[in-house]
Structures are given as structure tokens and as C-alpha cells.
Amino acid sequence: MLGVSAPSVVNWIDAGRLDAHRTPGGHRRISRSSLHRFATENQYPLPGAAGEAPARARHGGVLVLDPEPDFAALVHELLGVEDAELPVWTATDLLSAGLLIGRHGPTVVVADIAMPGLDPVAFARRLLADPETRDIRLVGLTACIDPPLSRRASEGGFAVVKSKADDLQTLVADVRRLLSDGS
């Protein structure tokens, strides 16, 4: 509901910033009142809240699509270091990514172009062909640079293609540049 990763919510609970209780099975549960209080105090808009813009009117931010939740969370945290107000969402699968793109309209999508089930060219072409998503800027990542895959991704519409092994600060700089180009 807040557009953040599950590890972020767990960290907030463990730090005492967000009230929750545990079920007998060990799962955390958050009451509506606790969530509303936390969202209000930290300026997170809740779906259906008064004054919230319609879903397609909200644009901006970054979606990180990576099958490795820890890597996605790391990129999420690095992007938030310079700008805590920047909306960043994470997804570990294509279905979740599609839902987040439809709901939030991110300006930049950072995607692991070698993830199972992802054809980077088809992914880019589908996003860039739709009037609702054609302005999204795409950043492709791979565990190691595969020149044919990188070339296909670039030709397909990815603005930047780089290795996950590169300095992540350059990734953040690339994303920042694309965000400012897209505004």
C-alpha cells in the first residue's frame, strides 16, 4: 500500500517506527490505524485517501525490477540516500512490475534484462508503444555484460545498459540524469 519493499516494512517494525503484532505463525500484522498513523507522520499517501490524485495522474519515481530482492532493496536504499522524497518501488517478477507501472507511472524503470522470463526487447517495445508508458526511461542491468544482449536491449529502447558489478553510484547517477531528463 505504501509502494515500498517488504524488507523496508520489516525494518520499520523492528526499529519501532511502525506498530505491528505477530500471529501465532510468526507473521507480522499491521492494524489499519497504525498504518494510517505511520503514513500520515511520514507523508506516504494511502490509496483512497482524500485529495489523492487519480492513479494515472501520479508520475515520477523509479521502479527497480530484479529477481534478487536484496539487490533491489540495495538499489532502493541508494536512490533514497540523496533524495528521501523520491518514490522508489521494487518488484521481483514481471507481474508485480506491471501492476506497479500501471499504478504509479514511474519515470524510470531499472530492470535486470537477463532475468528469467524477461525478453528485454519485447518488454521495452511494449512499454514504449503504449501512450500511457511511452515516456518511461529504461535502465538495463545484467550480472555481467553480454555484448549481444546489451546491444539488443539498447536497440530495443533501453537508455542505459550496464553491469551490476559496476560501481552502483554510477547507476544512481544515471538514474538521476534520466529523472531530470524526463521532467
Is the Cα dihedral 139, 181, 171, 82 positive or negative? negative
Grid coordinates of 91: 518488484
Helix (H, G, I), strand (E, B) or coil at 87: coil
d(CA 4, CA 78): 14
Helix (H) or strand (E) holding 162: strand 160-163
pLDDT, position 54 = 42
Structurally, what CATH architecture does the domain formed by 55-182 represent? 3-Layer(aba) Sandwich (3.40)
Q: Which has the closest alpha carbon to 157: 179, 182, 181, 124?
A: 124
Spans of all domains in the chain:
1-52, 55-182
pLDDT digits (tens, 9 = 90+) for 144-183: 777 888 888 888 899 999 988 888 899 999 999 999 885 4
d(CA 25, CA 145): 43
Residue-averaged pLDDT of the chain: 84
The one-character DSSP state at 44 is P
| pTM metric for this prediction | 0.67
pLDDT digits (tens, 9 = 90+) for 31-79: 888 888 888 888 777 765 544 444 444 468 999 999 999 999 999 999 8
Residue with grid cell 521494487, as numbered in its chain:
90
- Residues ≥6 apart with Cβ < 8 Å to 47: 1
Cα dihedral 71, 73, 76, 78, rounded to 10, equals -70
User: How many other C-beta atoms are found inside a 10 Å radius of the C-beta of residue 67?
Assistant: 16
